[in-house]
Amino acid sequence: MVQAYSATGIFTGEGFVDGLAVIVEDQLVKEVVPQHQVGEGIPVKHFKDCILYPAFVDVQVYGAEGRLLSVDPTEETLSVMANSFASAGTALFQPTVATNTTDVIKSCIDAVRAFKQSGGKGVHGLHIEGPWIHPARKGAHKEEWIRVPSIEEVKALLDYGSENITMITLAPEVCSVEIIEYIQSAGIVVSAGHTDADFETAMRSFDSGIDAVTHLFNAMSSMHHRAPGLPAAAFLHSTVKASIIPDGHHVDYNMLIIAKMKMGARLFAITDAVTSTATGPYQHVLNVDRYECNGTLSGSALSMNQAFNNLVKQAGIEKGEAHRMCSLYPAQLLGADKQYGRIAPGYSGSLLVFNQQSEFITALT
């Protein structure tokens, strides 16, 4: 089926343009043409006083609608997550499992594999956060499973999860250079997180090729005027990227503004969203607009469209750049920026409709 969409404006991923229509066929953008050049017989849906954007990409999210992947690691859970996120504007995501037993992590790998083999859409691959992290920066992670890995353990897990693990968060001071290089040789994004690395250690790890930082400022060495820590290393490094949680609880918006000023296009948004659950080792309880586990901040209640809105309204980031932080930049980290983050021929036909006040209206999938 061919369908054309138009609005008062379109954000292409590069800039805002007026007077265009997006023609979508088989869930891909076929053409972007002037509205008056839409072919005869192609239905057009127009959104007055609205802007069309590319769909969002979320690098780190744990569950949805009462289903936490680590508690219920099944194809059905991933389907619930994919449908829930798509309806709120996220077309591509990495289901994430926090520090857990090897059996649970393998079950999450099995779920991703089954979901993809059945033709499921929206899952990029599994993000494993821990257990190779520093116990002093564990946050809500369970300390009994945190450990220093051997190369044999890493090889065995990566063999099991071949082509289904796409990102691993680890503490660079806990893992050897051999281990980090082995993970990267498998095409997996390595992100520094839940780490006590000081400034010098962080800079060395970034220079050695670590790709990113997981939830900047949270669960890591702090930035102090005599001990700049990992956040300052991320600021000053030329290539490392960093995710940040724009909910106002994980990071004060003023710190987010400072980080954006220093990192520019290297800073992107994640939801880090969990869901209420009363079973399993991570029992997340909603506290107004954030989640806690045993009294510790354990995840956000964000959707990516709320993250975008917060970046614009709370952090004062220009709409186009705020959107890139929620779509193009995370897609670039994942190597998916030839399919997501732009409205152009060959890209995903999943589009978002926002009003002029940056409020989410609907997702077109």
- The set of catalytic residues is 272
- Residue found under tokens 């354990």: 298
d(CA 353, CA 268): 21
d(CA 278, CA 243): 28
* CA gap 327, 59 in Å, rounded: 10
Q: What are phi and psi of 123, to 5 degrees?
A: -95, 120
Sign of CA dihedral 300, 301, 303, 308: negative
Where do we find the tokens 């991933």?
78
Instruction: Report the SS3 class of residue 234.
Output: helix
H/E stretch holding 226: none
Contact 174, 132 (CB under 8 A): yes
* Amino acid, res. 361: I
Tokens found for residue 70: 């680590």
C-alpha gyration radius of the chain: 20
HSE-up of 126 (CA within 13 Å, CB side)?
Answer: 32
Q: At residue 145, what are phi and psi to the nearest 5 degrees? A: -105, -5
Q: 15 near 320, Cβ under 8 Å?
A: yes
Distance from C-alpha of 160 to C-alpha of 131, rounded to nearest angstrom: 16
